[in-house]
Structure 1
Amino acid sequence: MELDIIEEKGLKMGKANQEVFAETLEALAAADRDIIAVTSDSRGSGKLVPFGQKFPSQIVEVGIAEQNLVGVAAGLASAGKKAFAVSPACFLTARSLEQIKNDVAYSDNPVTLVGISAGVSYGALGTTHHSLHDFAVLRAINNMIIVAPADNFETEQAVRFAAALNKPVYLRFGKKAMPFLNESNHEFEFGKGRIVKEGNDLTIIATGETVYPAWQAAKFLEDTHGVKATVVSMHTVKPLDTDLLDTLIPDGKPIITVEEHMVNGGLGEACASYLFQKGARNAFHIIGIPDEYTVTGSQGEIFSHYGISQAGIANQAKVLLKINQ
């Protein structure tokens, strides 16, 4: 059914972002033997089995030991290797947070931390396997770039940028196949939001896999109410694209942020903090996971429950625009 909706709207279906990550890393590793993947019993879920078969000397398996994962990756990076530490996001950014803070960020080791199956991708496995804290904790650590690509194009670009950057980076990927959101916009840069739909009535700023439901909501609002929304893929949560945010202040139009993360400490609060310290008076609303015991279900069911959906985002837009429901 989902594929039918995408085809009706003229969007080309792609792969899961973490599949594109693995394919891109494999292509880079073929040309650069300094690229090393470090996994914590996660080469299967990280789609790195072909990588390991092709480059057995460029992959290190540490087992279910995420603190060791980050420590080993930091050691490799300090010796001149380009280390990609791959683990489920929920464990990578909780169990090994001290190593991320000290061995990677504080020591300025160019490790790319790759959080797979992020957000609520693990669905029915429940809160223990959901990463709804990772933006918040990593935003609080100096010297850490945080990126959540929305589609396959952004994913490939993000992996290539991270490999070339020589700085600590956190990449966040989900398990769901994603459509290509704007094939005409081939501009990508860490710290710069990507506009995937243009409008002048309100702005929807989303990140990662929530950009697609934001795009759906904007399309629905245009088709049913003539409301035209700008949709921004704010793939880089840190550093935030404050230049883009500055352009939203003068017109005073409503702003909605959307994220697969708790509303505390994520994209929405980052945008709100900047905007309102700059004197913005825009109507503003954060859509994400509230501070409560999270419901259990598939990713789609959890999204729907919390309004991270076409209907939920469109309804919130109508509230801010004072359109009768």
Structure 2
Amino acid sequence: MKLYLFYDDGAQAGLGHYRRVSALAHKLALLSSRTNPIESVLCPIITHKLDEVENLKAFCAQILSGEALGAVVDSYVFGREHFALLDSVFARLVCFDDTNRAVYPPQSFILNAAPNAHKLYAARTSRHLLGLGFGLSDEAFTPITAVRERVGDIFVSFGGSDLGNLSAQILPFIESSVLFAPHNPSLDSMPCVIHLVLGRHYPHTPPTRPYLKHYRDLSPVQMHALMRRCDIAISAGGGTLIELAASLMPTIMIESAPNQHFQISQFAALGAFKHAQSLAQIPTLIQSLLPKFARNQAKTTLKALRIGLELESALGNIFGLHS
């Protein structure tokens, strides 16, 4: 059986959409039997020009009756007509959502794994998979429980594109924090190291600093290995937040796109992460995470969130995959 994965791609979209549908496809592959494995068919929307409805119709016309297990869609580009077309082709349609867009067919399943996502859906039904219990991240992101005495390494990531170049804008604010203050006894002889992860579509010249290391287009395994080297993180509010939460990483969040606002605000309300409403707040928030007890408390809060525990059962029911 084939599972079709439609997702926004390219520099404007970053990598979050691809990472989410890929993680869901991996979950389904684990649920499927060896005798009837699931084949994932990647359908990057912009690359194949599927945002044009006629092209999407032509693509769907080639799908053989009975060969498709269903479709998963993670897109802001698709509108009501695109989703209606997919609903007519696929018996099972799962749609990732962040803001309760009014474009999804009534019989589709809506997946929003933001904390307290139920607040966005007044008319929710059993077809709404809402909240952190349905959180998705690659299995590479396992809990990091160790807490060092002092903060010596900071993980920084602003997604696959970072068109606004927060990666460069934030550096002076990190450097103005107490971590880089002259004669700070907590620094010993080695100042803090900033580990900056740049996405595949990062369009700017990478910034340089004496204590900056930058990395490009890391795999989930490489990303998590870097997280393990770090004490705190600074991130935008997309899919990386779920990965950081699953890794129990004390994190400062800053919004890089409007669709991130709800997830950021809810993580902050839970006390799981710190919310920087401007770059100017970064130094103060870094200082709040310097005490070891503060980072321990953050990990305890994140551990209690129990991310993704409801997802496997829900996917098994939707796609008829039962052990």
The bucket for the TM-score relative to the shorter chain is 0.3 to 0.5
Q: TM-score, normalised by structure 1?
A: 0.33
Q: TM-score, normalised by structure 2?
A: 0.33
Larger relative contact order (C-alpha < 8 A, sep ≥ 6)? Answer: 2
Q: Of the two, which has the highest radius of gyration?
A: 2
